Structure 1
Amino acid sequence: KICQAAENEYTGARCGLLDQFSSLFGSENGLVYSDFRALTAAPVSIGPGACFIVADTHVKHSLVASEYNERRARCEEAAAAFGRLLDHPVKALRDVSLAEWTRHSPCLDPVAARRALHVVGENARVFQALDLLGRGDLGAFGRLMYESHESSIRNFENSCPELDFIVETARALPQALGARLSGGGFGGSAVILAAPENARAVGAAVAEGFLRRYGRPCDIRVIRPSACAALAP
């Protein structure tokens, strides 16, 4: 919370706790299921049969200047509207279901409704992902990553052409299981899911296509989830 306050108050970016939770609660070969209301985290195994390729576009983004705060304000506007429309408390968009969004979104400002759909949809995809990873279905989990990125393009509008190109290049590769932008978007990196034995080939294909399209390289790194930050003995 201290780190979040530093970003909120000193840089002006109204961001959450994702980076801090990832650093504190990461696990070997696992993702982190984070509940930012309860301030709890739990490891979710992806097993040894998966790794990630991080493709850095080198598109610089400032979360303050890139309308991140505007996106958050629209989501808060939508949450307040749902609070007036629904018969149960709505403190945030996590309290709104997809069915409720579908029923009541015509009553909202169209832009706020789209921003809300991204958040409500992402929350639903998290619970789908927990079920799929629990059953070891990496293919279906990867398809959720593509759905997430598509929502970023259409609903949250926090992607950029370079990120979209990387995701679409990955989608065309049979060895790539899924891809989406990473973090707040508006630039930065995309993350691609693949089996470890296919990761270098996928990364090379993405890098080659990016260089051909933009005339400059993107950095490719193959990574595996690791344990959380800790003091060295």
Structure 2
Amino acid sequence: GLSSSAALEVSFATFLESLFEIEGVSAIQKALLCQAAEHEYCNVPCGIMDQFISSCGKKDCALLIDCRTKEPTAVAFQDPDVVIVVCNSNVKHELNGGEYKERVQQCQAAVKALQTHGHSHMTHLRDATVPELDSVREALGDDVVYRRARHVITEDERTVAAVDLIRARQYAEAGKLMFESHESLRDDYEVSTPELDHLVQTARGCEGVFGARMTGGGFGGCIVALVQQEHAQKLMQTLDAGYPAEKFGKDLPNPASFLTRIGDGASVVQIGIPTPAA
């Protein structure tokens, strides 16, 4: 749930660029090539977010990605009093197991229904509003498809709103959107797990936490939490205490948390290697 496959793709592509002295490939082009590799060779219909942040990321910046124009926008996110805590649920997941593809297909079905019922200009769910989706709810014929589409539309709205809140350093309001996002991922998109839900709910009850949500493709992986720096260690201790045995049994490994800040995307680091003597 932390874009490890995309990080590997982009870092290896960057290595090849350096090794073969390849020039003229932009960070955006590199991200798109890596996405194409995952589609073609791993058979995973992933989006572009993971490759973009691995290739185009900027230190101390969130990245707003326009998936239509393929343009990333860096959003300054630098505050010494606010940090990001990542907690690995230690629940494994496989994105090529079918669930991810199924949701892509469900969203495409919602777009087709919108096009058929008076919204022919729409090519993606980003073009629709919830009221417009509501107008074709019966035509969808499947409440699951409706909920999948509602998640995507409302998540787009939350993302745009979060950019303004981050720029204004209104972290409490941005955190509320994180909690709302998790609830939508849990209830409408149905990609969360009981373990992820437990971690988010635990974080919600900790002092200094602005917001938390699962991250990645779902069905396991990690949560991310936005928290005041002075309360970060206590949050990690609380999350890492483990899952209640009466609910989850005794066989699950404990979660594992770490503190992080936003860094740059993939780059070449020159290491001084002595030149062999003649």
Q: TM-score, normalized by length of structure 1?
A: 0.94
Corresponding residue number in structure 2 for 1:90 = 122
For residues 94 and 121 of structure 2, the distance between their equivalents in structure 1, rounded to whole angstroms, comes to 34
CA RMSD of aligned residues (A): 1.6
Code of the residue aligned with 1:71 in structure 2: it is R
Q: Alpha-carbon deviations, 1:48-104, whole Å to 9, x = none?
A: 132111111111111011511001100000011111223451111111122322333
Assess, with a 3 A threshold, how the Cα gap between structure 1 residues 161 and 18 changes in structure 2: closer, same or farther: same
Hey, what's the Cα distance between the residues in 1 that align with 2:200 and 2:176?
A: 12
Which residue is 2:71 aligned to? 40
Distance 2:138 2:165 in 1: 32
Q: Which secondary structure state, in structure 2, belongs to the residue aligned with residue 90 of structure 1?
A: coil
What is the alpha-carbon distance in structure 2 between the residues aligned to residue 210 and residue 126 of structure 1?
30
Structure 1 segment 37-116 matched on structure 2, within 5 A:
37-48=68-79, 49-108=81-140, 109-116=142-149
1:142 and 1:39 map into 2 onto residues whose CA distance is 26
Distance change >3 Å, CA 204–CA 86, structure 1 → 2: farther
Q: CA deviation at 1:173?
A: 1.4
| Structure 1 gap ranges (5+) | none
Question: Contact conserved, 2:242 with 2:255, CA < 8 A, in 1?
Answer: no
How many corresponding residue pairs? 233
Does structure 2 conserve the Cα–Cα contact (< 8 Å) formed by 1:66 and 1:186?
Answer: no
Q: Is the 8 A contact 1:211 1:217 kept in 2?
A: no
Partner of 1:19: 50
1:119 paired with 2:152, answer: yes
Check the 8 A contact 1:181/1:191 in 2, yes or no: yes
**In 1, distance between residues paired with 2:118 and 2:90?**
43
The runs of 5 or more residues in structure 2 that have no matched partner are 1-31, 271-278
- The amino acid across from 1:81 in the alignment is A
**Alpha-carbon shift at residue 169 of structure 1 (Å):** 0.4
Look up the equivalent residue of 2:138 and give its one-letter code: P
- 1:179–1:192 Cα contact (<8 Å) kept: yes
* Partner Cα distance (2:202, 2:188) in 1: 21
The answer on whether the counterparts of 1:30 and 1:225 sit within 8 Å (CA) in structure 2 is yes
In structure 2, what is the Cα distance between the partners aligned to 1:7 and 1:217? 31
Distance 1:146 1:78 in 2: 25
1:142-184 residue CA offsets vs partner (Å, 9 max, x unmatched): 1100000000111000001110000010111132111111111
Displacement of 1:209 in angstroms is: 4.5
1:134 equivalent among 163, 167, 172: 167
Q: Is 59-68 or 142-151 further displaced after alignment?
A: 59-68
Retained in 1: the 8 A contact 2:114–2:120? no
- The answer to whether residue 150 in structure 2 is matched with residue 150 in structure 1 is no
What displacement does 1:135 show?
Answer: 1.4
Distance 2:106 2:133 in 1: 15
1:170 corresponding residue in structure 2 = 203
Structure 1 match to 2:35: 4
Tell me the residue number matched to 2:255: 218
Aligned-partner Cα distance in 2 for 1:86–1:163: 39
* Distance of 1:221 and 1:51 partners within structure 2: 11
Residue 84 of structure 2 aligns to a residue in which SS?
strand
